[in-house]
Amino acid sequence: MHQNYCSLLPKTLLLLGMAVGTAQAQTISRVAATVIGNENAGSVSLAISIQNPGAAASTVEAVVQGLGTATAGQDFTFTTTQTITFPDGSTANQTLTIPLLDDALAEETEYFTVRLQNPTNATLGAGATDILVYIKDNDTPAPVPAGNLTLSLLQSYQNGTPFSGNTQINSAEIVAYDASTKRLYVANSVGGKLDILNFTNPGAITALASIDIKSYGGINSVAVRNGVVACAIENTNPQANGSVVFFDQNGAFLKQVTVGAMPDMVTFSPDGTYVLTANEGEPKADYTVDPEGSVSVIDMAGGVAGLTQANVTTATFSSFNVQAAQLRAQGIRIYGGRAASPSTVAQDLEPEYIAVSADSRMAYITLQENNGLATLDLATKQITAIRPIGYSDLRLPGHGIDASDQSGDVLIANWPIKGMRQPDAIASFEVGGTPYLLTANEGDARDYTGFSEQVRLGSSGYVLDPMAFPNAALLKNTSVLGRLNVTNKTGDTDGDGDFDEIYAYGGRSFSIYNATTGAEAYDSGNLLERVTATSAPYRDIFNASNSFGEAPTRKNRSDDKGPEPEGITTGQLGNNLYAFVSMERTGGVMGFNINNPASPVLEFYVNNRSLTAGTGDLGPEGIVFVSAANSPTGQPMLILANEVSSTVAVYSIQTTVLGTAAARPTAAPLLLYPNPAQGTTVRLSRAVSGMLTDLLGRPVRQLLATDHFDANGLAAGVYVLRATDGATSKLIVK
- Encoded amino acid at 129, one letter: T
Chain-centroid distance of CA 172 in Å reads: 18
* Mean pLDDT, residues 386-407: 97
Predicted local confidence at residue 666, as pLDDT: 54
189 vs 537: which has the higher pLDDT: 189
Is 60 exceeded by the pLDDT of residue 14? no
- Cβ-based neighbour number of residue 426 at 10 Å: 26
Predicted local confidence at residue 656, as pLDDT: 79
* CA–CA gap between residue 218 and residue 174 (Å, rounded): 13
- pLDDT bin (cut points 50, 70, 90) of residue 683 is confident
* Mean pLDDT, residues 379-389: 98
User: Taking a C-beta distance cutoff of 8 angstroms, is the pair 552, 623 a contact?
Assistant: no
Superfamily for domain range 27-135: CalX-beta domain (2.60.40.2030)
Poorest-confidence range of 125-139, 624-638, 720-734? 720-734
Does residue 305 come out as left (phi exceeding 0), alpha (psi in the -120 to 50 range) or beta? alpha
DSSP, residue by residue, 436-459: EEEEEE-----B-SS-B-EEETTS
Q: Closest by alpha carbon to 324, among 370, 276, 380, 266?
A: 370
Torsion on CA atoms 663, 665, 667, 668, rounded to nearest 10: 150
Is 60 exceeded by the pLDDT of residue 7? no
Predicted local confidence at residue 68, as pLDDT: 97
Is 60 exceeded by the pLDDT of residue 529? yes
- pLDDT bin (cut points 50, 70, 90) of residue 685 is confident
- pLDDT bin (cut points 50, 70, 90) of residue 21 is very low
Q: Judging by DSSP bridges, how do beta strands 58-65 and 82-86 pair with one another?
A: antiparallel
What digits encode the pLDDT tens for the residues 317-332? Answer: 999 999 999 999 999 9
* CA–CA gap between residue 734 and residue 721 (Å, rounded): 16
- Encoded amino acid at 83, one letter: T
pLDDT above 90 as % of the chain: 84
- pLDDT bin (cut points 50, 70, 90) of residue 658 is very low
What digits encode the pLDDT tens for the residues 246-275? Answer: 999 999 999 999 999 999 999 999 999 999
What digits encode the pLDDT tens for the residues 200-229? Answer: 999 999 999 999 999 999 999 999 999 999
Predicted local confidence at residue 718, as pLDDT: 84
Reported pTM: 0.86
Predicted local confidence at residue 663, as pLDDT: 39
* Mean pLDDT, residues 148-159: 96
What digits encode the pLDDT tens for the residues 482-496? Answer: 999 999 999 999 999
Domain residue limits, the chain: 27-135, 672-733
Predicted local confidence at residue 707, as pLDDT: 81
Predicted local confidence at residue 129, as pLDDT: 96
DSSP, residue by residue, 13-29: HHHHHHHHHH----EEE
User: Taking a C-beta distance cutoff of 8 angstroms, is the pair 681, 674 a contact?
Assistant: no
Per-chain mean pLDDT for the chain: 93
Predicted local confidence at residue 726, as pLDDT: 74
What digits encode the pLDDT tens for the residues 92-137? Answer: 999 999 999 999 999 999 999 999 999 999 999 999 999 999 999 9
Predicted local confidence at residue 181, as pLDDT: 97
* CA–CA gap between residue 326 and residue 184 (Å, rounded): 44
Predicted local confidence at residue 193, as pLDDT: 98
Q: Judging by DSSP bridges, how do beta strands 27-30 and 123-124 pair with one another?
A: parallel
Is 90 exceeded by the pLDDT of residue 25? no
Is 70 exceeded by the pLDDT of residue 386? yes
Predicted local confidence at residue 706, as pLDDT: 81
Is 90 exceeded by the pLDDT of residue 688? no
Rg (CA), the chain: 30
Predicted local confidence at residue 696, as pLDDT: 65
- pLDDT bin (cut points 50, 70, 90) of residue 9 is very low
Poorest-confidence range of 54-63, 643-652, 712-721? 712-721
* Mean pLDDT, residues 624-648: 97
* Mean pLDDT, residues 366-384: 98
